[in-house]
Structure 1
Amino acid sequence: MRGMEPAAAIFAALGFTLTPLGRHSLGSINHLMMAPGAYLELVGVPETGKQRQEVLDSPTGLSGLVFKADDADATFARLEAAVLKPSPPVAFSRPVEIEGETLEARFRTVRVAVELFPAGRVYFCEHLTPELVWRTEWLSHPNGFVGMDRIEVMSTAPAADAARYAAAAGSTPESTTAGWSVGLDDFSIDVVAGGGPRFRTLGLRFDGLDTVRDKAAGVSDALWDESGEGLATLIIPSLELRMECRSIR
């Protein structure tokens, strides 16, 4: 998204702990909201200087789905064998300040063909320096955020798209009453028929919803709708974001 400062301000007001602004060597900027083994990312481009074209081309709202890669080269080979037209691994970095010392967080990513995943960018990221990203001070959130459990993908061809997501994830699609689901440990990609293609909803987990509900009430650009015991929908219209908030209690 563009306008990083207002987006970050909204999430901070909602009670998320954001990492300091990161500046990647490929021409993008980000803030992360960390959870064990995963993170929610606000990504954009700097106002001046190098700007990453694929980020510029991304829609507002949920625009990317990133899988963990233990070995970018092996991931590239697997995706190539699955005929997902991956791009060769790309290395990049960003400076991180830890206890007054500037260090370099390093990554390697593999992207799959955009035309095969029209809902949004899909790629794999190998973290070469995970100790600089998953820091204790960034894993605790005032609103009780503890992770993510699903993403809903609107599709004009749910069965075909679910098969591609499953091939990318090394999983198997399962038919559901709403469409198709691709399971990934404690996360699922739910592909449903709709006006897409687009990523429609992100499922977030919280240690109780009271705090995030109260925080949302104080944010003018946040709409909170209780939809059941321990379940609510949080919409941020200016960012075109729809999030399903679930209590783990």
Structure 2
Amino acid sequence: MAPVLDHLVFDVRDRMAEGAARLAMLGFQLTPMGKHSLGSANHLSVFAEDYLELLGTDIPGGALRPDIASYPVGLNGLVFKTEDAAALAARLLAAGVPALPAQSFHRPVELPDGGRDDARFRTVRLDRAAAFDGRVYWCEHLTPQHVWRPEWQAQPNGATSVARVLLAVRDPERQAAMFRRSFGEAAVTAGSDGRVLLPCGPVIIEVAPHALVAAELGTAAPDPAGRGDHMALVGLRVSNLSATAALLRTRGVAAAPRPDALRVAAEPALNAVIDFLG
């Protein structure tokens, strides 16, 4: 069961408009707001095979879905693909992974021809005590045509895919053990500096000690906001880094140059570092 990344989730709580405005400023195209049958609202920024999701409520000061209510603003959801959520849940439990039963939900979407339909999903989540201070789950897309629509995949900033996810944790081996039980012993490799790596096709998930993440990110790092272990950074592949840099300059977005990359520091609307990678 090789890991394949499906999407990453920014929790924005009741600050949906603020989070959406920040992503738009960074050059992302957002889908129209969706309303889940679970009681949450979202926007997506869709790439070729994966996407970013803003998740919260569209009501300022409104109640949050119970399973996301305790999470601060930030990058908190790590989501893998599955083609059969129910079968996956059974396999995970048999492997000693504390998976919750598969859950079905939907949200209405407007179709290009003016009609309406539901985007439908089944997900399998891990018990939150099993991993970092975030949500790990698998998503089965029953209607992928309602998510990966061509008109939503052209990003003004040139982003084409997720390339890197960086987690800051106290004990990388604890997280690595969960990944091994979920995906097999060979799925996880060890870095020479104390971090562990979970390759997901073209995406690399890095789990690194706090000190290594602090040394890399410095003042750009997100506020842990009470999270002991958390996702700190997402790296996105772009089609033309020079064009991305020009767009960010015209919008007044500070982006620190790095070798073949641009880094946008964490700030309150998203509370996560975003790297644009050439």
Structure with more relative contact order (C-alpha pairs < 8 Å, separation 6 or more): 2
Q: How many Å separate the matches in 2 of 1:205 and 1:218?
A: 20
**Residue 8 (1) aligns with residue 20 (2):** yes
* 1:186-242 per-position Cα deviation (integer Å, ceiling 9, x unaligned): 11211111164111111111012223323333556x4311011x2121124112110
**Residue 128 (1) aligns with residue 158 (2):** no
**Residue 151 (1) aligns with residue 165 (2):** yes
- State the shift of 1:116 in Å: 1.1
Correspondence 1:30-179 to 2 at 5 A: 30-47=42-59, 51-99=64-112, 100-170=114-184, 172-178=187-193, 179=195
- State the shift of 1:74 in Å: 1.2
Q: One-letter code of the match for 1:142?
A: P
Q: How many Å separate the matches in 2 of 1:29 and 1:219?
A: 27
**Residue 235 (1) aligns with residue 265 (2):** yes
Q: One-letter code of the match for 1:242?
A: V
Contact 1:166/1:182, CA 8 A, preserved across alignment: no
- Aligned equivalent of 1:213: 245
Q: How many Å separate the matches in 2 of 1:197 and 1:203?
A: 18
- Aligned equivalent of 2:38: 26
Which stretch shows the higher mean deviation, 179-188 or 40-49? 40-49
More strand by share: 1
**Residue 204 (1) aligns with residue 219 (2):** no
Q: One-letter code of the match for 2:42?
A: N
Tell me, what secondary structure is at the counterpart of 1:153? strand
TM-score (norm 1): 0.92
Alignment match of 1:226 (pick from 257, 262, 265) = 257
Q: One-letter code of the match for 2:69?
A: L
Q: What root-mean-square deviation, in Å, do the aligned CA atoms of Structure 1 and Structure 2 show?
A: 1.8
Q: How many Å separate the matches in 2 of 1:52 and 1:152?
A: 26
Q: How many Å separate the matches in 2 of 1:155 and 1:189?
A: 13
Q: One-letter code of the match for 1:81?
A: A
The runs of 5 or more residues in structure 2 that have no matched partner are 1-11, 212-227
* 1:10-67 per-position Cα deviation (integer Å, ceiling 9, x unaligned): 1112211111101100011111111122111111123287731122212211111001
Contact 1:13/1:215, CA 8 A, preserved across alignment: no
Q: Aligned in 2, Cα 1:166/1:153: closer, same or farther, shift over 3 Å?
A: farther
Q: How many Å separate the matches in 2 of 1:169 and 1:57?
A: 28
- Aligned equivalent of 2:206: 190
Q: How many Å separate the matches in 1 of 2:240 and 2:190?
A: 30
* 1:103-151 per-position Cα deviation (integer Å, ceiling 9, x unaligned): 1110011100101112310011110000111101011111111000121
Q: Aligned in 2, Cα 1:5/1:218: closer, same or farther, shift over 3 Å?
A: farther
Contact 2:29/2:155, CA 8 A, preserved across alignment: yes
- State the shift of 1:80 in Å: 0.7
Contact 1:225/1:232, CA 8 A, preserved across alignment: yes
TM-score (norm 2): 0.83
Q: How many Å separate the matches in 2 of 1:47 and 1:56?
A: 14
Q: How many Å separate the matches in 1 of 2:180 and 2:53?
A: 23
